């Protein structure tokens, strides 16, 4: 009896470790350095349904020159909200050729959708006010 309980505990521990490793690797997104004018940014790439859906949810902070670039397969009107997102953010909607077409500020945990007027290929989320602090404006281009 004791032996079977030990075996079950070992199996449970192994399965738990495997699940933690699998979940941890899923949380690490590909990163890339991009620029807008003179500003260099380290971005995490959200390029599939799961990473785009999760985005920056449940994070408590983000370094100043870091962000998340949402990549879509084709141009479309996008809509983002801040459900479970604790960091105040600014978002730029970007065309396929890298032109910033729209920018908006977003409040933590707001369920109000922030929709693009234009069909775009990318969305870039940065800390609230980052675009303004760096002098980035609509019409500027991302160097992808």
Name the residue with higher pLDDT: 12 or 33.
33
Q: How confident is the model at residue 123 (pLDDT cuts 50, 70, 90)?
A: very high
Asked whether the predicted pLDDT for residue 18 surpasses 80, the reply is no
Is 30-143 CATH 2.60.120.1140? yes
Using DSSP, state whether 15 is helix, strand or coil. helix
**pLDDT tens digits, one per residue of 20-77:** 444 443 457 899 999 998 999 999 999 999 999 999 999 999 999 999 999 999 999 9
Q: Tell me the pLDDT band of 1, cut-offs 50, 70 and 90.
A: low
Within a 13 Å sphere around the CA of 81, how many CA atoms are in the beta-carbon half? 7
Letter string b/e over residues 17-28, b meaning 16 or more CB atoms within 10 A of that residue's CB: eeeeeeeeeeee
Q: Where are the domains of the chain?
A: 30-143
Examine the pLDDT at 9 and tell me if it is beyond 70.
Answer: no
pTM above 0.85, yes or no: no
Query: What pLDDT digit, counting tens, does each position of 72-103 carry?
Result: 999 999 999 999 999 999 999 999 999 999 99
Whether pLDDT at 15 is above 70: no
Specify the pLDDT at position 11.
Answer: 47
Provide the pLDDT for residue 29. Answer: 87
pLDDT at position 26 is: 43
How much is the pLDDT for 103? 98
Please choose, from the candidates 55, 121, 130, the residue with its C-alpha nearest in 3D space to the C-alpha of residue 89.
Answer: 130
> What is the 3-state composition of the chain as percent helix, strand, coil, each rounded to the nearest 5?
25, 40, 40
């Amino acid at each position: 009896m004791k032996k079977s309980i030990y075996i079950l505990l070992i199996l449970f521990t192994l399965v738990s470790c495997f699940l933690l490793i699998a979940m941890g690797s899923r949380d690490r997104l590909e990163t890339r350095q991009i620029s807008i004018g003179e500003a260099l940014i380290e971005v995490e790439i959200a390029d599939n349904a799961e990473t785009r859906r999760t985005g920056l949810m449940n994070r408590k902070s983000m370094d100043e020159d870091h962000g998340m670039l949402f990549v879509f397969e084709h141009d479309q009107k996008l809509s983002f909200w801040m459900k479970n997102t604790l960091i105040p953010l600014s978002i730029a909607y970007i065309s396929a050729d890298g032109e910033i077409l729209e920018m908006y500020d977003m409040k933590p945990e707001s369920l109000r959708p922030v929709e693009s007027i234009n069909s775009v290929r990318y969305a870039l989320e940065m800390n609230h006010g980052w675009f303004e602090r760096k002098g980035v404006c609509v019409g500027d281009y991302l160097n992808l």
